[in-house]
Amino acid sequence: TNKPKIVVLGAGYAGMMTTKRLTQQLGREEADIVLINKHNYHYQTTWLHEVAAGTINHNSARVMISDVINPNRVRLIYDEVVKVNKEEQLVELENSEISYDYLVISLGFETNTFGIKGMKNKAFAIQDIDSSRNIYDHIEYQFSKYNNEKNPDDGSLTILVGGGGFTGIEFVGELVEQVPKLCKKYDIDRNKVRIINVEAAPSILPGFNEELIDYARKSLEARGVEFREDTKIQECKKNSFVVNDGEEIPAGTIVWTGGVTGNSILGKSGFELTKGKVTVDEDLRAPEEDNIFILGDCAWVMNKEEDRPYPPNAQAAIQHAATCARNIKALLRNEPLESFIFDDKGTVASLGVSDAMGTVFSDRKIYGKSAATMKKVIDNRYVFMLGGPKLFLKKGKIRPF
């Protein structure tokens, strides 16, 4: 056909919602839509710390793409994107290639170890469903073998988490829920297990409000998390971190949550990068590109008023999708494009199943059970947006705590 072809790369928050909105806003005769993703499922990146700690099953955190995107309306291709060739308007995939008239790049983040020796190859990272499952399997294996070993007190039950940002804190929050269950299952004294979080900055959760940080620290310490703030990781070895002036912290499981950057395909495709991402124009297009949008964790979107980029998160990725879909429609219809404006609804970090903290409704602080409830409302809101009541009943967080 000679209909324009819109190709969306990556079925995360930004890619799924862009595709969904395009199907709602465009007539079939207006454009062909193609969605390309590595897997045939979409996963909830913001729930991966729960998969990694084993507090939820990985299947709860994923949805078959064809369950929420009509395959008769959108061509679904499950393949790995290798590179974008801008000159020829082609996307190279592992097994084929595809041309586009309009391109949406929403390939998410990659773990960034900032060159810390050994970290990339020796630590686990919470990157996607498979890597997160792998972490929990490894943790459980440490427990299952413990009582079978002759000389087990070697730190094998220590879980070491590098990075005390949002992900690291949410992850240790889930670990304190899961560890007692594992202890019971494998007849292990809870006191033998250590959960240690290492953060280089003077405090965990850099950028968060002081009161909220204190709340999180106290709540997690009371449940057995040890914090090592102001502690610089020099090297990650197979079974330890070397920190500060050479002190070694042994562990059986090491997870790096200390940093992410944009997908490396951006660099391979020749986009100009700032700290691994593309600084997009107000309408979310890549600079100098009329037909390429870059969304979610691949993009820096500038907050003009504060002269710095908006924080990258799922909330923003979902909002990018709405603006992007409207702007593609505008391009197809020769109408003016709109500028992205972030509507910050707040941030809530979970600290386990029944505790959380954060800000909602322009900086109102919330803590404890009410914050945990709010967190579930946020999680469920997205499930509902993506797949309506049917998906909500299947994948919503409706379990009580």
Phi, psi of 364 (to 5 degrees): -80, 130
Q: Is 135 in the site for ligand FAD (CB under 6 A)?
A: no
* C-beta separation of 394 from 330 below 8 A: no
Which residue, 244 or 264, is less far from ligand FAD as judged by CB? Answer: 264
Residue 2 is classified by DSSP as -
Which region holds residue 210: left if phi is over 0, alpha if psi is between -120 and 50, else beta?
Answer: alpha
Residue 274 is classified by DSSP as B
Which residue, 14 or 322, is less far from ligand FAD as judged by CB? Answer: 14
Which residue, 117 or 381, is less far from ligand FAD as judged by CB? Answer: 381
Q: Is 13 in the site for ligand FAD (CB under 6 A)?
A: yes
Which residue, 252 or 259, is less far from ligand FAD as judged by CB? Answer: 259
Of 8, 297, 322, 352, which one interacts with ligand FAD (CB under 6 A)?
297
Of 22, 56, 103, 108, which one interacts with ligand FAD (CB under 6 A)?
108
DSSP secondary structure, 151-209, as one string: S-TTTTTEEEEE--SHHHHHHHHHHHHHHHHHHHHTT--GGG-EEEEE-SSSSSSTTS-
Q: Is 103 in the site for ligand FAD (CB under 6 A)?
A: no
Least distance from ligand FAD to the Cβ atom of residue 38, Å = 4
Least distance from ligand FAD to the Cβ atom of residue 378, Å = 7
Q: Is 14 in the site for ligand FAD (CB under 6 A)?
A: yes
Cα separation, 289 vs 123, in Å, equals 38
Least distance from ligand FAD to the Cβ atom of residue 192, Å = 27
Of 313, 319, 323, 327, which one interacts with ligand FAD (CB under 6 A)?
313
CA 266 to chain centre: 18
Q: Is 280 in the site for ligand FAD (CB under 6 A)?
A: no
Of 8, 21, 45, 219, which one interacts with ligand FAD (CB under 6 A)?
45
Count of residues touching ligand FAD (by CB under 6 A):
32
Window 232-271: residues binding ligand FAD (CB under 6 A): 263, 265
Q: Where are the beta strands (DSSP E) in 32-154?
A: 32-37, 41-43, 62-64, 74-78, 81-85, 90-93, 97-99, 102-105, 109-111, 124-125
Q: Is 128 in the site for ligand FAD (CB under 6 A)?
A: yes
Amino acid present at 295: L
Question: Beta-carbon neighbour count of residue 326 at 10 Å?
Answer: 17
Q: How far apart are the first and last CA of the chain?
A: 53
Q: Is 130 in the site for ligand FAD (CB under 6 A)?
A: no
Grouping H, G, I as helix, E, B as strand and the rest as coil, residue 301 is coil
Contact footprint for ligand FAD (CB under 6 A): 10-15, 37-39, 45-46, 48-49, 80-81, 106-109, 126, 128, 167, 170, 263, 265, 296-297, 312-315, 317
